Amino acid sequence: MTTFYQINLPMLKIAAIFIGGGLGSVLRFGVGNWIGNNLSHFPLGTFIANISATAVLGLGMLLIAQREDAPIWMSAFLLTGFCGGFSTFSTFSMDTAKLIESGQTVWALLNIIASVVICTVVAFLLIKKS
**pLDDT of amino acid 40:** 64
Domain count, the chain: 1
Inside any domain, residue 77: yes
**pLDDT of amino acid 9:** 74
Inside any domain, residue 31: yes
Inside any domain, residue 101: yes
pLDDT values of the chain reduced to their tens digit, one per residue, 130 residues: 455 545 577 888 999 999 999 999 999 999 988 887 556 678 999 999 999 999 999 999 999 988 888 888 999 999 999 999 999 899 999 999 999 999 999 999 999 999 999 999 999 999 887 6
Range(s) of the domain holding residue 77: 11-129
Inside any domain, residue 80: yes
**pLDDT of amino acid 68:** 86
**pLDDT of amino acid 10:** 85
Inside any domain, residue 76: yes
Inside any domain, residue 75: yes
- What secondary structure does DSSP assign to 41-94, as a single string? TB-HHHHHHHHHHHHHHHHHHHHHHH-TT--HHHHIIIIIIIHHHH--HHHHHH
Per residue in 47-76, pLDDT (tens digit) is 999 999 999 999 999 999 888 888 889 999
Give the global pTM: 0.84
Inside any domain, residue 2: no
Could you give the CA distance from residue 77 to residue 126 in angstroms, rounded to a whole number? Answer: 19
Inside any domain, residue 116: yes
